Structure 1
Amino acid sequence: MRKVIECVPNISEGRNADKVGAIAGVIERSGAKLLDLSSDPNHNRTVITYAGEPQAVAEAAFDVAKAAIASIDLTQHHGEHPRMGAVDVIPFIPVGGVTMAECCEIAEQVGKRIGQELNVPVYLYAESARVPQRRKLPTIREGEFEGFAEKIKDPAWQPDFGPAERHPTAGCVAVGARNFLIAYNIDLDTSDVTIANRIAKSMRESSGGLMNVQARGIFLEDKQRAQVSMNILNFATTPLCRVFELVKMEAARYGVGIVESELIGLAPAQAFMDVASYYLQLPGLSRDALVETRIYE
């Protein structure tokens, strides 16, 4: 089987299309293909998705980091999404013919290069984490760019690679290996962000909500409405339909409805098959029922 890895760098720029295009433009090469760009001006962040053969994907990840670090100045950056780096996070995801252990090796390889050659502190996270407290990205990112000047002085937060001080304009970066993550947001028909924050608290695992869900409330300046912004870390145990229905139920407590949902980046087809199976009451529905699957095979 051909070895295929997905990489999803998140960069702290979502408003300057030329800058985003220049950074993403370093990806395409033999063995690596750009699949999607998803920029959001409110979050001021872009999710880049590409895939390919392991070594080509690794080389492209380093080039993305190099381009982002050279062109993004976090001292001038403002947005709704938490961030600690110009290139904030670089995850490697096994797609086919590759193990999680191999993705961890690639994460270490890329992280070491970023630390040594670009002089940016690197934290290994998720399956690549060397200590338990660094498995979860929000824990590493706590304090964000502004707070890391002091945080990194704590012996517990010495980076895995690179200098033991925050880069003055590019901050720090988390690099690791993980399974598929779905970035899923729900817009509410209210401008009251306190309601979005209350709903987010009821959703996230750390507050006693759904397993494998990270959530926060934000205000969308361009739409003048509140949003529940979420990451679903395991759609097999916490499907999209369950997330949607719980947000809908919690919103109803405050007399608020849902305007629309938003998917950031790409997601596995099975996640949507699970949604169709639930709402259409089609137990056992799988991708084998799709004509496109049969044609592709």
Structure 2
Amino acid sequence: MSRQLVACMLNVSEGQNLALVERIAQSALRAVNPPAKKTAVEGWKINAAVLNIFQDFDYNRSVITIVAGQDSIGASVEAACKTAYELIDLSEQEGVHPRLGAVDLVPLHPISENMSLQTLGAVAKDLGRSITSSVPGTSVFLFGAADSEGRGLVARRKEVGWFKTPVRYSSLTHDLGHVPSPRYGLTGVGAIPYMMNVNVTLDTKDVALGRRVAAAIRATSPKGLPGVQSMAFPHEGRVEVACNVDLLPSHLRSPDWEVRESLGGQYVFTPSDVLTRRVLQESGGVGTVGTTLVGFTPEEARALASLALTRGEGEAWRKAKDRRM
């Protein structure tokens, strides 16, 4: 069995009921850990662990960080998704953050060095098929290495209608499963290099300003930051610039990028301090209240995953001194 480590940042459309979200996390563990599965990978006591649960009340959204070996990640995440579909009725959910699915996003990320993204793409595609077969009525769109054309998450979200309002579920584009419905919505499943969520809170209620800042820093802008995708939302009485920070293959690196190497130099990414400084520059003198990293850097995720699996700490999120918020 493979000791290649994979992380899944499972995004579900529930951020106000911790007990419900923890039931989803526990399902990921029961599916693949002893005694449900007799043996773990050599050197590991268990096959999967949950490193972190991040909840946001205003967004009504949670991110569950599941880690496992490449051979176990599919079954672990599928079990979590099945529980989420059972417990979350998307038609009854409201939140500031856009969403299309009760299970909104299922990205698989390699966190071991020199791991094949193409192989993980096949795992993700099989996971999408398994989800739609085991939960009738669900639907999936594929992205990254799971997509036959290798289209990224942002491109696929635009194509399927993720950013459009109001949502007409029956007209959404999907790759697998049933025609999307208000009950389950549409789930994105894919395999991409590790992606961090970095949120910078501006000390203002001016959402228009936040959107201008988000537009200026995203990678598609002329002077945007490498690998950064950004949006702005009202959040807890202020405005949050919410960013996905992608790892980029190091061969794409430009001399003028302010980036940090990751996973043995295989990738580079924009650090959170660079992102925060740029937000301040673009905000026209408006200060920031703070910067939040949702989860971990790739190196932190790999180290904590190895520790949790070796020690048999499946519910590692309960032992964390610093809950990643």
- 1:244-284 deviations in Å (ceiling 9; x for gaps): 21101111x2x31111111112222489xxxxxxxxxxxxx
Structure 1 match to 2:133 = 116
Structure 1 match to 2:203 = 189
- Whole-Å separation in 2 of the counterparts to 1:50 and 1:145: 31
- Whole-Å separation in 2 of the counterparts to 1:260 and 1:151: 39
* Structure with a larger share of its residues in helix: 1
- 1:194-235 deviations in Å (ceiling 9; x for gaps): 2111111111123442232111111113xx111111111126
- Whole-Å separation in 1 of the counterparts to 2:211 and 2:126: 38
Change (3 A) 1:44 1:37: same
- 1:57-90 deviations in Å (ceiling 9; x for gaps): 1111111111111111111111121111011111
Is 1:68–2:84 an aligned residue pair?
yes
Letter in 2 for 1:230: C
Letter in 1 for 2:231: R
Structure 1 match to 2:97 = 81
Number of residues of Structure 1 aligned to a counterpart in Structure 2: 261
Is 1:243–2:267 an aligned residue pair?
no
- Whole-Å separation in 1 of the counterparts to 2:299 and 2:161: 30
Structure 1 match to 2:60 = 44
- Whole-Å separation in 1 of the counterparts to 2:170 and 2:135: 21
Letter in 2 for 1:215: S
Query: Is the 2:196–2:296 contact (alpha carbons within 8 Å) kept by the matching residues of 1?
Result: yes
Change (3 A) 1:60 1:43: same
1:256 to 259, 272, 286: 286
TM-score normalised per structure 2 = 0.74
- Whole-Å separation in 1 of the counterparts to 2:214 and 2:169: 29
Structure 2 match to 1:59 = 75
How far off its partner does 1:126 sit? 1.6
Is 1:127–2:125 an aligned residue pair?
no
Name the SS for the 1:20 alignment partner: helix
Structure 2 portions without partners, runs of 5+: 34-45, 248-258, 260-267, 302-325
Query: Is the 2:27–2:80 contact (alpha carbons within 8 Å) kept by the matching residues of 1?
Result: yes
Letter in 2 for 1:38: F
TM-score normalised per structure 1 = 0.81
How far off its partner does 1:170 sit? 1.1
- Whole-Å separation in 1 of the counterparts to 2:286 and 2:145: 38
Identity of aligned residues (%): 29
Q: Equivalences for 1:203-242 in 2 at 5 Å?
A: 203-208=217-222, 209-221=224-236, 224-234=237-247, 236-242=268-274
Query: Is the 1:123–1:160 contact (alpha carbons within 8 Å) kept by the matching residues of 2?
Result: yes
How far off its partner does 1:167 sit? 2.8
How far off its partner does 1:193 sit? 1.6
Structure 1 portions without partners, runs of 5+: 272-297
Q: Equivalences for 1:90-169 in 2 at 5 Å?
A: 90-96=106-112, 98-119=115-136, 120-131=138-149, 135-136=153-154, 137-139=156-158, 140=160, 142-143=162-163, 147-152=167-172, 157=173, 159-163=174-178, 165-169=179-183
Structure 2 match to 1:25 = 26
